[in-house]
Structure 1
Amino acid sequence: MEQPPGFVSTRFPNHVCRLKKALYGLKQAPRAWFQRLSSFLVSLGFTCSRADTSLFVFKKDSNILYLIFYVDDIILTGNNASMVRDFITRLNKEFLITDLGKLNYFLGLEVSYLPSGIFLSQSKYAHDILARAQLLDTKPIATPLSTSTYLTSNGQPYTYPTKYRSLVGALQYLTITRLDLSYAVNQVSQFLHAPTIDHFQAVKRILRYVKGTISYGLSFLHASSPNILGYSDADWARCIETRRSTYGYSIFLAGNLVFWSAKKQPTVARSSCESEYRAMANTAAEILWLAHLLRELHVLPPGRPTLLCDNRSAIFLSQNPISHKRAKHIDIDYHFVRELVLSGKLHTKNVSTHLQLADIFTKSLPRPLFEDFRSKLRVGSPPSSLAGGGGG
């Protein structure tokens, strides 16, 4: 530490300021605030989640409260309305808070209420991105990425790389509710260090797709039989420069999509079986995390999770404890999928390629297939029966 430039004391040049209070905006402030709030919650009987440290759970008999916060934004819910009101009163006595009522806007996410569930969207945020890119009047397009597009690092450099990085960063946040953008955004995100004109044209195509689907969002509907179902897929040697595979997964809870991803694998796979098996291992890890979270929320489904994959060799490798010579080079940590299957904690099954919903995260698809998968993942326009929410 040292004295700030322009305010160096001539009498005590080697002294520094002593911090007596954690002020808003300092590096220490978030940690101090978290410690202050979490200590108060624990004193009331809440327990901090091990799966997510920003989540706190209170359970007494059949009454449950869930509280999650991001900096100074808090979401509180529970199954007992009077208990929720009592807790808000106690929280207001300890901290100066503003109760905004029923949730309808949180960190750019818009929440609309349906008779059978909720609808999440980012329409305003998407509109702001289009306005920033000056593409509000652009012509919409049906898919975010052409099936014939293969982005490489070759090409004429783009003149405004900062603008490119800003737009791609904004699109990354938009994928919170717009999973149909995940693969396309993943592709353009790989060239942030040195974008070319072709890369910017791909970003403009994504924005044209957003323009035509600006009101789209993700639906979460009530279900009578909760279960965990995952889809895992990989496109072997997808990257023509590095020959690394692209993998993706989608995980459903009671028929509602709760996790998804589109990423490039960190190493080169020697076969499609290896790339698919590695994708299964990553998906299984996410399913385990979800199971831990649901157990802490006291809503863990009784049945074992199911993981679907369209590669029969990878399914065989996950179910057969006998090591095959072609799998000797695969890292040991990926073989924990076998242990999960053998212990009965995970069930792996084969699924037909045309029913592999994770395919949308590994490659650009033709329009009919893309729209079919997008619909099955419950991404679409707002239902016509949206009910009015409360204050935000």
Structure 2
Amino acid sequence: MVTHVDVLASPVESSPPPFLPTTHTMVTRLRDGIRKPNPKYANLVFSQVSEIEPTSFREANKSDQWRQAMLTEVQALHHNHTWDLVPPSPHRHALPCKWVFRIKRRSDGSIERYKARLVANGFHQQYGIDYLETFSPVVKHVIVRIILSLVFSRQWPIRQLDVTNAFLHGYLSEEVYMRQPRGFEDPKFPHHVCRLRKSLYGLKQSPRAWFSHFSEFLIHSSFTASKADPSLFIFHKDYNFLFLLIYVDDIIVTGNALSQVNALLQSLNRQFAMKDLGDLHYFLGIEVQRTPDMLCLNQAKYSADLLKMATLHEANPCLTPVATGSQLSSLHGSPLSDPTEYRSLVGALQYLTITRPDISFAVNQVCQFMHQPTDIHWKAVKHILRYVLGTFHDGLVFRPGDSSMIAFSDADYAGNPDDCHSTGGYCIFFGSNLVSWSSKKQPTISRSSTESEYRQLALTAMELSWIQQLLQELHVSLPSPPLLWCDNTSSIALASNPIFHARTKHIAVNYHYVRELVLAGSLHVRYVSTHSQLANIFTKGLPLPRFAFLKSKLLHSSHISLQGDNRDGDKSAHNQALQYL
């Protein structure tokens, strides 16, 4: 018998299914025979699927828009002198290539342009023959949030750039051959092959070649690569500052002088085919809304596309991402016959945590079963998606503030039912803005709650030290040492009292890093009550009042304001920390 939940979670069909009588007493829209869309979700915008992306050259060649898109791509390749036509070599294999078609959309879902990309089939490359090193760094999302928080507090301009055919700018050091693109073979030399001079999309070394070429240009232009993250480039001369963040072919540029920013954009445009997209508004699937008082980040469009892909855009929303006290186990449930969809959705949910710390713990749980998920794990994923449906426009908010650093650290002792590992979490504020957080199972078993909390203190201290190193490179000085809040008095004593060393010989030496920072005076560890521990949301499933209270301290909702209990009776830990500093 089909249950009520299964009916709501099923894909929307062209004709409504016959009404299935139910025996439960709950009054629902389906029980009353109502199948019209709920008007309270009318403001949710989902991407339209009226335009379908072709999957083959033959299909795309029937459309004028896609033929023009392919022609534009080939013209750019020839203009860039990407290859030379040469006779085929009997000793070298020519890689196949294919066309990939994508519809580029704006943040509201409307079509921006049709994009055809010629992609080389890098699966046929052989290591040591036509490629060597492949790794290319991309900027960490933590750094993006720190930079946005910093420059918004200083009211600097933030510009967004896009590189046209970014990978085509990288020069190849290896000898690589490719077949001519279908539909654009040279009529004079139809059997010749392309010897690639520059990198092409699909080659294993293309990201590295592009990044090397771009970074060399920036360093030649007096930029320096950050030691904290090589994808961050810093220019400092006299009183002028410029920061440049690169994520493959998406670039953010900011600085304290608009004239310096414009001069940099002109210099980049002369060297590369750049598109100045104006003020930052949509970056890596993140929508950016800037007002004089705040900077809002959310992934509403990405959430809508994710729910549409999962066919849960008309399901009933949930109030929390995970049930209270939920502990998933690999021993519960029946294995899924095809885990492909599970892995795809969980991977997409991981990307959603860039602006949604409230789902970090729930996503961390389902990520631990990617190798062999069961139907119980699949229900947990759908529970998270239904929570996302009800919190569509939630996201981060940055407001102007000082340069203080405050962190919260917490651990759930032996919370994993399979291996008894603890789950640790932390959140770090730069001023009043949340910039870094984590929810992760600890790698080793702890023998006590004190040990698990102490390990998490050390991991949080390492993240704080890394952020401090970054701020030093940005020439930002902290008014006082970072303040780390913990709700376990024994771990606080362990972090500051070397006499406890005899009891902690079994703890790895690297976890005593926090003790060195405390004794050196570069980190303060203080006690905070469990009720005011913000990191509690990253370690376990919480009841709704508790979850809502903690979420209200981390996120901003454009629809509702979640309030917790005892707000007037007990100040939040964040306010305590700000008052202490």
Global fold match (TM > 0.5):
yes
Q: Of 116, 119, 124, which residue of structure 1 is paired with 2:296?
A: 119
Determine whether 1:263 maps to 2:440. yes
Change (3 A) 1:329 1:300: same
Residue aligned with 2:537, SS: helix
Please give the alpha-carbon distance, in whole angstroms, between the structure 2 residues aligned to 1:91 and 1:348: 45
Higher radius of gyration, 1 or 2: 2
Q: How far is the alpha carbon of 1:5 from its aligned partner?
A: 8.8
Scaled by the length of structure 2, the TM-score of the pair is 0.63
* 1:165-244 pair list within 5 angstroms: 165-223=343-401, 225-244=402-421
Residue aligned with 1:98, SS: strand
Please give the alpha-carbon distance, in whole angstroms, between the structure 2 residues aligned to 1:245 and 1:168: 22
Paired amino acid for 2:384: I
Paired amino acid for 2:291: L
Determine whether 1:22 maps to 2:202. no
Determine whether 1:88 maps to 2:265. yes
> 2:169 maps to what in 1?
none
Please give the alpha-carbon distance, in whole angstroms, between the structure 2 residues aligned to 1:191 and 1:35: 37
Q: Of 37, 60, 65, which residue of structure 1 is paired with 2:237?
A: 60
CA shift digits 1:81-134 (9 cap, x unpaired): 111111111111111111110110011011001222210000000001100010
Please give the alpha-carbon distance, in whole angstroms, between the structure 2 residues aligned to 1:134 and 1:289: 41
Paired amino acid for 1:321: P
Confirm or deny: 8 A CA contact 2:408 2:534 kept in the other structure. Answer: yes
Q: How far is the alpha carbon of 1:383 from its aligned partner?
A: 9.8
Scaled by the length of structure 1, the TM-score of the pair is 0.92
Paired amino acid for 1:135: L
Confirm or deny: 8 A CA contact 2:336 2:374 kept in the other structure. Answer: yes
Q: Which stretch of structure 1 is more off in the superposition, 174-183 or 150-159?
A: 150-159
> 2:93 maps to what in 1?
3
CA shift digits 1:117-172 (9 cap, x unpaired): 21000000000110001011001110010014221112211233100000100000
Structure 2 residues not aligned, in runs of 5+:
1-90, 97-128, 131-173, 177-195, 562-581
CA shift digits 1:28-61 (9 cap, x unpaired): 2222211211111111111110001000011122
> 2:452 maps to what in 1?
275
Please give the alpha-carbon distance, in whole angstroms, between the structure 1 residues aligned to 2:249 and 2:372: 36
Paired amino acid for 2:500: S
Confirm or deny: 8 A CA contact 1:123 1:215 kept in the other structure. Answer: yes
- Structure 1 runs of 4+ off > 2 angstroms? 1-6, 15-22, 323-326, 378-384
Q: Which stretch of structure 1 is more off in the superposition, 374-383 or 119-128?
A: 374-383
Please give the alpha-carbon distance, in whole angstroms, between the structure 2 residues aligned to 1:69 and 1:206: 31
Please give the alpha-carbon distance, in whole angstroms, between the structure 1 residues aligned to 2:239 and 2:95: 59
Paired amino acid for 1:96: A
> 2:335 maps to what in 1?
157
Please give the alpha-carbon distance, in whole angstroms, between the structure 2 residues aligned to 1:280 and 1:338: 10
Paired amino acid for 1:282: L
> 2:536 maps to what in 1?
359
> 1:10 maps to what in 2?
none
Please give the alpha-carbon distance, in whole angstroms, between the structure 2 residues aligned to 1:324 and 1:100: 56
Confirm or deny: 8 A CA contact 1:22 1:28 kept in the other structure. Answer: no
Please give the alpha-carbon distance, in whole angstroms, between the structure 2 residues aligned to 1:233 and 1:2: 57
> 1:390 maps to what in 2?
none
Please give the alpha-carbon distance, in whole angstroms, between the structure 2 residues aligned to 1:81 and 1:249: 36
Confirm or deny: 8 A CA contact 1:213 1:381 kept in the other structure. Answer: no
Please give the alpha-carbon distance, in whole angstroms, between the structure 1 residues aligned to 2:239 and 2:431: 21
Residue aligned with 1:258, SS: strand
Paired amino acid for 2:274: I
Please give the alpha-carbon distance, in whole angstroms, between the structure 1 residues aligned to 2:94 and 2:213: 29
Q: How far is the alpha carbon of 1:364 from its aligned partner?
A: 0.6
Residue aligned with 1:336, SS: helix
Change (3 A) 1:18 1:148: closer
CA shift digits 1:5-30 (9 cap, x unpaired): 99xxxxxxxx9892352322212222
Determine whether 1:42 maps to 2:196. no
> 2:208 maps to what in 1?
31
Q: Which stretch of structure 1 is more off in the superposition, 369-378 or 178-187?
A: 369-378
Confirm or deny: 8 A CA contact 2:226 2:232 kept in the other structure. Answer: yes
Confirm or deny: 8 A CA contact 2:326 2:540 kept in the other structure. Answer: no
Change (3 A) 1:108 1:365: same
Q: How far is the alpha carbon of 1:4 from its aligned partner?
A: 5.7
> 1:110 maps to what in 2?
287
Q: How far is the alpha carbon of 1:328 from its aligned partner?
A: 1.6
Residue aligned with 1:323, SS: helix
What root-mean-square deviation, in Å, do the aligned CA atoms of Structure 1 and Structure 2 show?
1.8
Please give the alpha-carbon distance, in whole angstroms, between the structure 2 residues aligned to 1:136 and 1:108: 19
Please give the alpha-carbon distance, in whole angstroms, between the structure 1 residues aligned to 2:94 and 2:277: 40
Please give the alpha-carbon distance, in whole angstroms, between the structure 1 residues aligned to 2:227 and 2:405: 20
Paired amino acid for 1:195: P
Q: Of 318, 341, 344, which residue of structure 1 is paired with 2:521?
A: 344
Residue aligned with 1:290, SS: helix
